[in-house]
Amino acid sequence: QDSPLKAVQMLWVNLIMDTFASLALATEPPTEALLLRKPYGRNKPLISRTMMKNILGHAAYQLVIIFTLLFVALQRDQRPQDPRREERL
């Protein structure tokens, strides 16, 4: 089974995506408060409670949308078809 993207295409996609992300990070100047903030401790979690709530909330939202679209697609597929249309195909 062939991959839909060749190795060189994947490298170009990676380059473009990383470029946009780095430009977004590089164009926003750091604030003075951010520069003076003490570093987080070694044992502090990487994902805060607020971040976890946002991640789980967004995941739930996406699941609802995906399952709704899937349900609608399955309902459309089960409708009786016009027999004349099948003859033309």
One digit per residue, the tens of pLDDT, for the chain of length 89 reads: 677 778 888 898 889 888 888 888 788 787 888 889 898 888 999 899 999 999 999 999 999 999 999 999 888 887 666 666 655 55
Task: Tell me how many domains the chain contains.
Answer: 1
Structure-block tokens of residue 78: 């089960």
Where in the sequence is the domain holding 44, given as residue range(s)? 4-78
- Residue 66: predicted pLDDT: 96
55 touches 47 (CB < 8 A): yes
Asked, for residue 46, whether it belongs to a domain, the answer is yes
Asked, for residue 86, whether it belongs to a domain, the answer is no
Nearest C-alpha neighbor of 11 from the set 21, 19, 22, 2: 19
